[in-house]
Structure 1
Amino acid sequence: MKRFLSLLAFALASLIRRKRRSLSLGFGLLLIAFLLSAALLLHDSIRAEYERLIPGMAELSVHQLRGGRPERIAGDALKELESHPGVRSITPRVWGYLYLPPLSANLTVMAKNGDPALPTILDGTLPDNEGELTIGDRIAHSLGLRPGDSIALPGAAGFQLFTVRGVFTSDSSLLAGDLALFTEKDARSLLGYDDELYTDLAIALSAPSEANAIAARIEKLLPGARIVERSAIERAYALSFGQRAGFLAALLLPILGSFLLIAWDRLSGSSDEERYEAGVLLISGWEFRDILTFRILESSALSGIAAALGISLAYLYLFIFDAPLLADLLLGWSSLHPTFKLTPMLHGSQLLMLVAILVLPFTAISILPAFRSANVDADALLRGGR
């Protein structure tokens, strides 16, 4: 161990002596480490956010279709299913979309009883009377609204004036960033819904494992209905964010490959100084394997330090500065895309994967150049001078 530590100390000293080469190679590797780490860590952090929200969603949601297009559904369409032991509750929901010209974006309109999980993540109050609403943080930020302010919304029967009663916190932005919550009567008025007709039915199950069996029963009761399972929504989230993060990471791999080729070219061209140094070390009593180990440790230390700095900078960029630009690429460019405080996600498996991608290839390409620089005729080299 003492021998290894001595070789490592000598390798670090060698990096300091060759500052220009060390800085150029180290900066390139640091930049790649930063970008790759940021993409992967951001993906894992967003995945943790939607995995936290998924359990609060209904296990099944049922939509009536006609001609392949969604149609409103009667609240008692699945009355026969209420007595099923696997069904805990069936909640008719009124919701839809309202286009806001000032934002060039859609507002999600929902009746207050549409999602019982929302009050648990609310900062403010829910709408208790007609003419009141509670809005998501992105809408409030984009339109400069606060509790007590008024807003006119274009409904099915013309513009209607509402008073803001509350604003959802940024912690719920992924779920409620573009949401506006109303009383059921106001939601129906804005969307042009008749009484007793709803957008869909949310079904809570006693045992989520029975989702497939309940879905099969619903298909018999409502032929042609579209049944969306919570597990399908989870897969859609994972696929959407996973594809974007994977695309960013895939773009960086050719850059990493190009950098390794440049590094190979730089490392392969052993300078006279390096060969002379190897000759001096051999004359001083060093063995061939010691010089080879020292050269490999030199490359490993350089790549390890650059990777550690890159990962650390990525951590600060994501979880201190909230990942400007990169978060937009993964979350979308909509004016109402969600904003939330990213939860730090850094596991041992992630670090091992990043080390394998960043440090091991750089160390591997240094083995042959290290072998060449260590394999010198010390006597001939020293007699010939530098």
Structure 2
Amino acid sequence: MVNRASLFLALRYLRPKRSFVSVITTISILGVAVGVLMMVVVRAVMLGFEVDFRDTLMGAEPHVLVAKDTAAQNAPPWQEALKLARAQPGVVSAAPYAGGILYLAREDYQTAAPALGLSQTEGASNLAKLTPHILDGSLDLPEGTVVISDHHAHQLGVRVGDEITVYASQNVNLAVRQFNAVNEEDSEEKKKALRAQIKLHPQALRISGVLRGETAGPTAYVSLQTGQQLFQLGLEVSGIAIEIHEPQQAKDFASGLGSRLPGYKFTLWTDAGESRLAAMQNEQTMMQFVLSIIALVAAFSVMNTTITVTTQKRREIGVLAALGSQPRQIVSVFLLQAVVVGVVGTGIGLAGSLLVLWLRNDIREIMTLLTGGQVHAVEGVFLSTIPAYIQPWDVALTCLISIALCILAGLIPAWFAARMDPAEALRD
């Protein structure tokens, strides 16, 4: 139990003679509060960016794509692979897909996009993730239609309802090889015959939807049957698109399924953004280091308060020691000061951080107006608002570390104060 006399003296020493709270105590409490506020706010915002990036930007991609390795000899048929994938624990859905690279053209404009052909029923889980990213049209995927990104729509100068011409990549590659063969032939008759064989097999598709490319990615979507026609698969498919309950476990899932599906290769939703996710985690590590320095600075302000008080109260410390107070009692007086400053400062900082996080987008708008920017210039796109993700255990750990640093910072000068010689203290 805390000695009441020690607590009484600690609180008394935190007050000056003519005001309720001393200036130096106020500065120390504010220092701790600012440190805690910075640690909680920055950590929450950094986590928010990572969570939004993972769930929104990368969440549009299929979690796992399973495709037969062209070099494999004894790979099981895709029907067997589909059945095995659906039987795996944690699988939300598994749907066959027809995919590849499509060249898109309209008049004199051309571009290219990866394409994914999905069944409206079997691929419902994959398509449902794209719903928040649709800008115009729908994801119904009737035969002979395509859903493209807004970037490709801008490059081609098209919108929903317009028709574009598409070519499968393998047709273009074959045409290039055939054209090279024509150039290497000397006989005009053979050249003419080879030129007649060059066909791109174009297909006209109507645009039925436009996706926000910034969040949904560059992939174009068609029906499964349309994809099979475009990539000349017949009744075959390119692979299997799998959705799982725990996307973060995609690597473990692929590893487990891969051991049972020899001859198949796996593409994970994290592959395209893994480097960016790693970069964000590295940024968090460095930011945590910077925030630790801020916490240390706040702790030094507490130490400064304790040193100042012990210096000002040398005579009273000498009187306490002369009256028989034990060193631990003297230490407890100044240690309790550090505890009070740490707890009050941490509480204020925590309340302030929650207020800042609550008003973060209003603060952004005010700062944008003050700097002459446009508040709603990017409204509705990815990260148009400041994300924040609060982990309760992380906040609790931050508060505990703050109070612990304050106690440690107050303990050092308190220990030296307890060792002060009473005679020397009274002589000052």
TM range (shorter): 0.5 to 0.7
Taking only the aligned residue pairs, the percentage that are identical comes to 11
**What displacement does 1:31 show?**
3.4
CA–CA distance in 2 between the matches of 1:17 and 1:217? 71
CA–CA distance in 1 between the matches of 2:15 and 2:294? 29
CA–CA distance in 2 between the matches of 1:301 and 1:152? 72
Opposite residue 62 of structure 1, the aligned amino acid is V
- The equivalent residue for 2:283 is 244
Residue of structure 1 aligned with 2:138, choices 120, 126, 130: 126
CA–CA distance in 1 between the matches of 2:20 and 2:245? 65
- Residue 51 of structure 2 contacts residue 389 of structure 2 at CA under 8 Å; is this kept in 1? no
CA–CA distance in 1 between the matches of 2:285 and 2:165? 40
**When the two structures are superposed, what TM-score results if normalisation uses the length of structure 1?**
0.59
**What displacement does 1:80 show?**
3.5
CA–CA distance in 1 between the matches of 2:312 and 2:97? 79
Residue of structure 2 aligned with 1:366, choices 410, 413, 416: 410
- Residue 205 of structure 1 contacts residue 211 of structure 1 at CA under 8 Å; is this kept in 2? no
- The equivalent residue for 2:12 is 10
**What displacement does 1:258 show?**
5.8
Give the stretch that moved more between structures: 262-271 or 246-255: 262-271
- The equivalent residue for 2:339 is 300
**What displacement does 1:276 show?**
3.7
CA–CA distance in 2 between the matches of 1:119 and 1:38? 33
- Residue 95 of structure 2 contacts residue 118 of structure 2 at CA under 8 Å; is this kept in 1? no
Structure 1, unaligned stretches of length 5 or more?
68-75, 100-105, 325-334
Residue of structure 2 aligned with 1:116, choices 120, 124, 142: 124
If you compute each CA radius of gyration, which structure gives the higher value, 1 or 2?
A: 2
- Residue 150 of structure 1 contacts residue 161 of structure 1 at CA under 8 Å; is this kept in 2? no
- The equivalent residue for 1:36 is 39
- The equivalent residue for 1:345 is 390
CA–CA distance in 1 between the matches of 2:9 and 2:130? 57
Deviation by residue 1:245-288 (Cα, 9 ceiling, x = unmatched): 22210233345446656765675466652324535666899765
Alignment of 1:13-24 (within 5 A): 13=15, 17-19=21-23, 21-24=24-27
Deviation by residue 1:54-101 (Cα, 9 ceiling, x = unmatched): 99986642246679xxxxxxxx962342444736744215477999xx
CA–CA distance in 2 between the matches of 1:300 and 1:154? 73
- The equivalent residue for 2:377 is none
**When the two structures are superposed, what TM-score results if normalisation uses the length of structure 2?**
0.54
Alignment of 1:1-386 (within 5 A): 3=4, 6=8, 9-10=11-12, 12-13=14-15, 17-19=21-23, 21-42=24-45, 45=48, 60-63=64-67, 78-84=78-84, 86=87, 89-92=94-97, 94=99, 113=119, 116-117=124-125, 118-119=127-128, 122=131, 126-128=138-140, 133=147, 176=215, 178=217, 182-184=221-223, 194-196=231-233, 201-203=240-242, 212-219=255-262, 222=263, 225-228=264-267, 241-257=280-296, 260=299, 264=303, 267-268=306-307, 272-279=311-318, 289-321=328-360, 338=383, 342=387, 345-347=390-392, 349-376=393-420, 381=425
CA–CA distance in 2 between the matches of 1:238 and 1:179? 19
Q: How many residues align?
A: 336
Q: Secondary structure at the match of 2:390?
A: coil
